[in-house]
Amino acid sequence: MSVVVICLLFTSIFTNTDSLTNEQEKDRIKALPGQPEVAFSQFSGYVTVHKKHGRALFYWLTEAATHNPLENPLVLWLNGGPGCSSIAYGASEEIGPFRINETASSLYLNKYSWNKQANILFLESPAGVGFSYTNKSSDLRDSGDKRTARDALTFLKRWMSRFPQYRYRDFYLSGESYAGHYVPQLAKKIHDYNKNHSNPFINLKGFIVGNAVTDIKYDNIGTVAYWWSHSIISDSTYKSIMSSCKFTSAKYSQNCDDAINYAWNYEFGEIDQYSIYTPSCNKSSRNLTTNISSRVKNTLVRISGYDPCIENNAEKYYNRPDVQHAMHANSTGISYKWTACSGELLDNWKDSEFSMLPTYKKLIAAGYRIWMFSGDTDSVVPVTATRFSLSHLNLTVKTRWYPWYLNGQVGGWTEVYDGLTFATVRGAGHEVPLLQPQRGFLLFQSFLAGKNLPRS
């Protein structure tokens, strides 16, 4: 039976909610507390990825808000950290259909939700992030890149057994920050898995990542250059960091640490390093990631261009028992509160690839659609870091650097290479869809369509 016939078969079987399997029906979200009425279906729950250790990953699927979601692709979204929740950030602040109000009493619609174009699958990964859990506490102290990718592949295979209507569907990966590791690593896992199976059902077409951690050496050099070029640090501190920091390993000399700490403590000020031109939230701290060190210190940050403390809303909302019940979450009674990021995972991360560039080369050669984008006001994984890392792929330029437009205004700049598209998003920080939702939405539309960003 051909792939096309199989796809048509699944489409004919799963054309309405009456065709849901018992497993799917158990995962159906009837309505979230305070949720406005919507026409699309939602599902959430757990998929066990390691039975012996009791590792289970939590997902939330928001189907496409279109006439027939089975005609739309499936997109997996991953946030980074390592140790941060895709429910807290991707789903609730960036690309998900809902936003949480300030009192965490109700939800309101996101006008630029990505599920207007695709079925979006949010995954809290690895175990220990958000509602995802493990019954073996040592798993929280020895997580790393390799196991995260392995468990994510296991999740996808088992999730698609539960939701067979998504088998063979056009499938894309997406994410930001430390997902610059998660996404290409998982893409390679899927690629290798498909090569070794005669009838692969994970129909990976490509991936898109934003403000992505890519290469320790080149990211670091590009990050320090951003700090200096945006007047965050002094000439003397810039020279001190560049002369004392070699950036050839995850461990730095004492002189290097001293120079970086001086910049953080005496020159940065209380800005939001993830969005340097918006107000900061002085009531919360964040653990996303910074590519200037393998062990990130908490920093005072904002959360968005509208409400710098929006992350607090998610922590209130997802700790509500009625919300957890509606989402089939925390079914095992996790002994700790749901948090946006896990400090324990971050502090004990065991393996992190030095460079993702070799992985990119393999995936580019395999012909996948690959886009990278950068919000240009992020000082943590800044546009200069990504550009410097990409320059070492030595790709052939197909379409030279040009400004792209939305509503008559420059939305950013882009360059198309043989095998990869890079774009900046003007006025966006680390979380592009939060700071510039309409520009982020157009970026996503263009990626799915495989079209260059508009010149006018």
* 22, 41, 127, 264, 332 from 138: Cα distances, Å: 34, 36, 11, 32, 18
Both structure tokens of 91: 């789903």
Measure the CA–CA gap between 265 and 250, rounded to whole angstroms. Answer: 21
Residue 198: per-residue pLDDT: 87
Estimate to the nearest angstrom the gap between the alpha carbon of 454 and the chain centroid: 24
| Domain covering 216-311 in this structure, CATH number | 3.40.50.1820
Q: Which of 50, 181, 191, 430 is an active site residue?
A: 430
- 430 flagged as catalytic: yes
Residue 307: per-residue pLDDT: 55
User: What long-range pairs does 13-20 form, CB within 8 A, spacing at least 24?
Assistant: 13/165, 14/70, 14/164, 14/165, 15/68, 15/70, 17/41
Of how many residues is the chain composed? Answer: 456
Q: Which of 27, 132, 378, 379 is an active site residue?
A: 378
Residue 194: per-residue pLDDT: 96
Do 406 and 438 form a contact (C-beta atoms < 8 A)? yes
Residues of the chain with CATH 3.40.50.1820: 3-215+353-449, 216-311
| SS3 of residue 71 by DSSP | helix
Along the 456 residues of the chain, how does pLDDT read in single tens digits?
444 444 434 443 343 444 788 999 999 999 999 999 999 999 999 999 999 998 999 999 999 998 889 899 999 999 999 999 999 999 999 999 999 999 999 999 999 999 999 999 999 999 999 999 999 888 889 999 999 999 999 999 999 999 999 999 999 999 999 999 999 999 999 999 999 998 899 999 999 999 999 999 999 999 999 999 999 999 999 999 999 998 987 778 999 999 999 999 999 999 999 999 998 877 544 434 344 433 332 222 222 233 567 788 999 999 999 999 999 998 887 878 999 999 899 899 999 999 999 999 999 999 999 999 999 999 999 999 999 999 999 999 999 999 999 999 999 999 999 999 999 999 999 999 999 999 999 999 999 999 999 998
Measure the CA–CA gap between 319 and 177, rounded to whole angstroms. Answer: 25
Residue with tokens 């995850």: 250
Residue 249: per-residue pLDDT: 75
Domain 3-215+353-449 has CATH 1.10.760.10: no
Residue 286: per-residue pLDDT: 41
- 378 flagged as catalytic: yes
Q: Which of 41, 177, 374, 389 is an active site residue?
A: 177
User: What long-range pairs does 46-52 form, CB within 8 A, spacing at least 24?
Assistant: 46/131, 46/132, 46/328, 46/331, 47/155, 47/158, 47/159, 47/162, 48/158, 49/127, 49/151, 49/154, 49/155, 49/158, 50/127, 50/134, 50/151, 50/154
Residue 435, C-beta contacts closer than 8 angstroms, at least 6 positions apart: 275, 278, 304, 305, 375, 377, 427, 428, 429
Residue 96: per-residue pLDDT: 97
